[in-house]
């Protein structure tokens, strides 16, 4: 068997218990990496992902609302694997309502989980990442295009991730570390089911006649995590089925 492109690498994926994150965990591991991933509420799902992936996966309980949980997840990963090469900030939530209807809790959760915890994870990971290190944020095409009402704060958090990525590329290039922001369009998960109430409105603004899959996002992330992507940094890269024309 030939070695995968990520053989010898170690990774941490936040929110890997289901959806896009589980797809990323599976692909990074299939490509040879040892992968730690976090979960907050879905313990059983996390255990199922870990047992499906096998020895290369390690589930960690960490609530991205809590700074110390994120600090601890990075430390546990580095300790378990003897280092860290790849950080994927995937955990995210979206509350879709008019700004006059969103509660302060909903707004604070989106800011804390989608943005603040990514900053903390990056800060902590920088103690471990070396030459060839990779940081990949999971943003959203909604940072650039918002065809439906109610997504303003969600889109704002994802737009901020794009700006964070662009800015940090300048700080990290000298250390041989890249940072990129993957912006998926609709992906069939529990957060955005392909048969959900918004599906037909979303498909109307897409070039493809289907949602993406977690496996497709995983493949894209794995490419960015690999040695061939060393010249890509500071970018927001869309994988969105031609969303919004």
Ligand X SMILES: NC(=O)c1ccc[n+]([C@@H]2O[C@H](COP(=O)([O-])OP(=O)(O)OC[C@H]3O[C@@H](n4cnc5c(N)ncnc54)[C@H](OP(=O)(O)O)[C@@H]3O)[C@@H](O)[C@H]2O)c1
Q: Kindly list the catalytic residues.
A: 154
The nearer residue to ligand X, 132 or 213, going by C-beta atoms, is 213
Cα(57)–Cα(28) distance, integer angstroms = 10
Residue 37 and residue 91 in contact, taking contact as beta carbons nearer than 8 Å: no
To the nearest 10°, report the CA torsion of 56, 184, 20, 155: 120
Q: Count of alpha carbons within 13 Å of 136, Cβ hemisphere only?
A: 33
Give yes or no for residue 241 binding ligand X (CB under 6 A). no
Q: Which residues are CB-contacts of 26 (< 8 A; sequence separation ≥ 6)?
A: 49, 52, 53, 215, 218
Binding mask 60-89 for ligand X (x = CB under 6 A): ---xxx------------------------
Cα(156)–Cα(111) distance, integer angstroms = 9
Identified binder of ligand X from the candidate list 40, 87, 121, 225, rule CB under 6 A: 40
> Whole-number minimum distance, CB 46 to ligand X, in Å?
6
Residues 133-162 close enough to bind ligand X by CB under 6 A: 138, 140
> Whole-number minimum distance, CB 7 to ligand X, in Å?
26
The DSSP-derived string for 35-57 is EEEEESS-HHHHHHHHHHH-TTE
Give yes or no for residue 184 binding ligand X (CB under 6 A). yes
Q: How many Å from the N-terminal Cα to the C-terminal Cα in the chain?
A: 42
The nearer residue to ligand X, 113 or 129, going by C-beta atoms, is 113
Identified binder of ligand X from the candidate list 50, 143, 187, 225, rule CB under 6 A: 187
Residue 140 and residue 183 in contact, taking contact as beta carbons nearer than 8 Å: yes
The nearer residue to ligand X, 4 or 198, going by C-beta atoms, is 198
The nearer residue to ligand X, 41 or 123, going by C-beta atoms, is 41
Q: How do 34-39 and 236-239 pair as beta strands?
A: unpaired
Identified binder of ligand X from the candidate list 26, 34, 38, 180, rule CB under 6 A: 38
Q: How do 236-239 and 178-184 pair as beta strands?
A: parallel
Give yes or no for residue 19 binding ligand X (CB under 6 A). yes
Give yes or no for residue 178 binding ligand X (CB under 6 A). no
The nearer residue to ligand X, 7 or 108, going by C-beta atoms, is 108
Q: Which residues bind ligand X (CB under 6 A)?
A: 14-21, 38-42, 63-65, 90-94, 113, 138, 140, 184, 186-187, 189-192
């Amino acid at each position: 068997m030939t070695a995968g492109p990520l053989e010898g690498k170690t990774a941490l994926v936040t929110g890997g218990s289901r959806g896009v994150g589980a797809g990323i965990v599976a692909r990074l591991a299939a490509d040879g990496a040892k992968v730690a991933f976090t979960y907050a509420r879905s313990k059983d799902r996390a255990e199922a992902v870990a047992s499906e992936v096998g020895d290369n996966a390690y589930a960690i309980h960490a609530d991205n609302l809590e700074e110390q949980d994120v600090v601890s997840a990075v430390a546990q990963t580095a300790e378990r694997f003897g280092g860290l090469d790849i950080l994927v900030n995937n955990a995210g939530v979206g509350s879709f309502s008019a700004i006059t209807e969103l509660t302060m809790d909903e707004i604070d959760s989106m800011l804390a989980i989608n943005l603040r915890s990514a900053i903390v994870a990056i800060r902590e990971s920088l103690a471990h990442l070396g030459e060839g290190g990779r940081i990949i944020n999971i943003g959203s095409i909604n940072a650039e295009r918002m065809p439906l009402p109610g997504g303003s704060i969600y889109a704002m958090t994802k737009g901020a991730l794009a700006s964070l990525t662009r800015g940090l590329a300048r700080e990290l290039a000298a250390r041989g570390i890249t940072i990129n922001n993957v912006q998926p369009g609709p992906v069939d998960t529990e957060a955005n089911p392909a048969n959900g109430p918004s599906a037909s409105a979303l498909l109307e603004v897409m070039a493809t006649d289907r949602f993406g899959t977690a496996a497709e996002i995983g493949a894209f992330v794995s490419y960015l995590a690999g040695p061939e992507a060393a010249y890509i940094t500071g970018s927001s890269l869309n994988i969105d089925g031609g969303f919004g024309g």
